[in-house]
Structure 1
Amino acid sequence: MTGTAAPKQRRWTPPYAERELDAVVRVPGSKSMTARALVLASLATTPSTIRRPLYSRDTLLMVDGLRSLGAEIDTSDDDLWTVNPAPLHGGTDVDCGLAGTVMRFLPPVAALASGPVAFDGDPHARKRPNDGVIKALRDLGVEVDDGGRAALPFTVRATGGVKGGELAVDASKTSQLVSALLMAAPRFENGLDLRHIGDRPVPSRPYLDMVVQMLRQAGAEVDDSEGNRWKVAPGELSGREWVIEPDLQNAAPFLCAAVVVGGHLTVEDWPTETTQAGDKIRDILVEMGSRVEWTRGGLTVVGSPSTLSVDLDLADASELTPSLAALFGVSRGTSSIRGVAHIRGHETDRIAALVRELTKLGAEVVEYDDGLKVTARATRPMTWETYADHRMAHAGAITGLVTPDFSVSDVACTSKTWPDFASVWEQAILGHGNAGGAGA
């Protein structure tokens, strides 16, 4: 990983599986936990350390954004970052890249600074909706200049503080809106009494459990006893050691690979208790007929290529959609995913992209507003387009396991959350033993 610039595209021929798997994989740290730890550490009153953080484009963009606002963050040790908080200042620019966490988590932080903070990102990022954060800040009395776009680029004209108090938002498009506001809320003069008032539920609810848990670990007083309401008292956040779990979303394509071709695949250090939404993959693969076992080294999937059809509601674990849709595209039977309308606003319109690529692959696909239904057919050679989306690249790797003359248009986009994804995938599929190791 060389920095935070958009990576140069790289066409990739993922390995075709010649045999069942027998591999142990170590996945890098959770992006969601790393991003939240960085923000909370930067808003704290004393220093923090972050152990086993994710080293990727998204998290380095978060680091650079927080540094530009005043925090001192040392990332020279890949396995242990240190954060020394400092007074927040404006008069700076934040590059969001294609990171939803940066474009949503940092504007409320920037609102606490003294002076304007300009936000922009990759071309694809300008298409990602950010109206929720912009409207929320305005409702809190913060001036935001966005040229009427409700998206990047925009400037937060901070004046050194936010009064806070009662706020109603529609967070039905993304849980990141709630997470963003809650993390900054202890620094608001009156804290925050936040209500979700949308017609649809907040998606990806486990992420809200994660942010509430981490806020409490940092010393914040949070009341989430009432549905769709979060009350955060004003107060100081304390520095601490944050230990980051493996990223279970990044583990999903590897577990799906074991189902596609059979064999054993172990993900090291899978947490026995977690707020990560990706943990749901365990139950889904069991429902599809595979065996999932806890081992001393982690979590092992004993794959069953004769998969069973399933109908899934992934509203709380939507990041699993691309990998599972790809699994459906090369498996027997018909399976469906619903409840994920919000992923149309992710790095790309993931539903439309999956429908397009799986249809090219040869599958029969029905598109819904909030998901898709996939019936596998014989696969055919193709180039799988990634749309600058790391999860689409993961899906392409899965379909390539059983498709000759297959390529992925760009694997470099996986640097967003795992720069070494392609090499670890190749080692897991083609070799035996450990895949990942240092630097993953």
Structure 2
Amino acid sequence: MELVENVVCPFCGTLCDDIICKVENNEIVGTINACRIGHSKFVHTEGAMRWKKPMIRQGDEFVETTYDDAIEKAAQVLANAKRPLMYGWSCTDCEAQGVGVDLAEKTGAVIDNTASVCHGPSVLALQDVGYPICTFGEAKNRADVVVYWGCNPMHAHPRHLSRNVFSRGFFRERGRADRTLIVVDPRKSDSSKLADIHLQLDFDKDYELLDAIRAVVHGKDILYDEVAGISREEIYEVAEALKNAQFGILFFGMGITHSRGKHRNIDTAICLVQELNEFSKWNLIPMRGHYNVTGFNQVCTWESGYPYCVDFSTGEPRYNPGETGSNDLLQNKETDAMMVIASDPGAHFPQRSLERMAEIPVIAIEPHRTPTTEMADIIIPPAIVGMEAEGSAYRMEGVPIRMRKVVESDLLSDKEILEKLRARVVELKAAQAK
């Protein structure tokens, strides 16, 4: 058995980089340091749920084919579409994402990633009011007050607490004992059980509570006995703890991005963090889900000037979330072909979007059997980045990390598939222009 050290886990935005993989006969059979979900992803790469060959739908069945044939048919779909949609991108590497943005430009497509249905409001907010962010290293070494708002890291990012709250830092030598943990969540969760203060606010009242805390921070009185289900005394207590922090960090999740107020919740959260810097040092970090959802927003911004929902149909990049988002295009029947890569909209999109997906050609670049591949017309299985292929990814706070290749695979990587697809689309588009 071989032990491969310093492996980066390709599960969530925490991108744990201290995993040790146990490899036997070119297969990962165990891990050290990984959480349960990360361990499951490493050791369950094989089996009945894995696509090993490209597939093309014929009637109600899939027929095995070659990479060249599948890529040819996919290229024809994209080249002949009037307004193709390319969605996903959050579970693959930055190199593949760069090729994908170029492919979208060459086909006049709309390119979008999973941020449009998760942390899209966070991206809109930081464009409005800024982004006071820091790294995990600073949080671990310096933070003495940690706030988790609208998230449950014990389930969604299982090692996040151990890396940022319980771990010993340069200025926090006792780890958890040197930190005050505050959880803001309308539910009692496994994360809230660990908190020193749990603000169990009313549903959809995040904006009201944030504004109340901002008012107290600036020395204003609260005129009501409670705000958002939290008593006036608790709000004063929390505001005082935030102001007296030596170094504070606010981690916020989809509980705040998807409650009433959407990106305005994030606007006021960012304003709170900026205002707290008048009294102490404060930063915030979004709890991004997929391991490289942040990477796509970075790459897409480099290439097009915009982070997601980018429309190349006019020959120039155009950005208008609410119009150029994936669900908007599908539900308004404005797209006539769809390529899905490194995501599973079939399991998460609303019914009206799925109905449109069932009406148009769908290309799935996906290693596993998913609800999306069940709807697809062409399935092209790639090697899994971080296990069977190497590549770059961005941690949730924007730190780039290189992912290792652990085992060998006969499958093409996402980047190789997209490069072949792009080359063939260019040829077909050139022939159409003659």
Alignment TM class, shorter chain as reference: under 0.3
| TM-score normalised by the chain length of structure 1 | 0.26
| TM-score normalised by the chain length of structure 2 | 0.26
Whose RCO is larger (CA < 8 A, sep 6+)? 2
Larger radius of gyration: 2
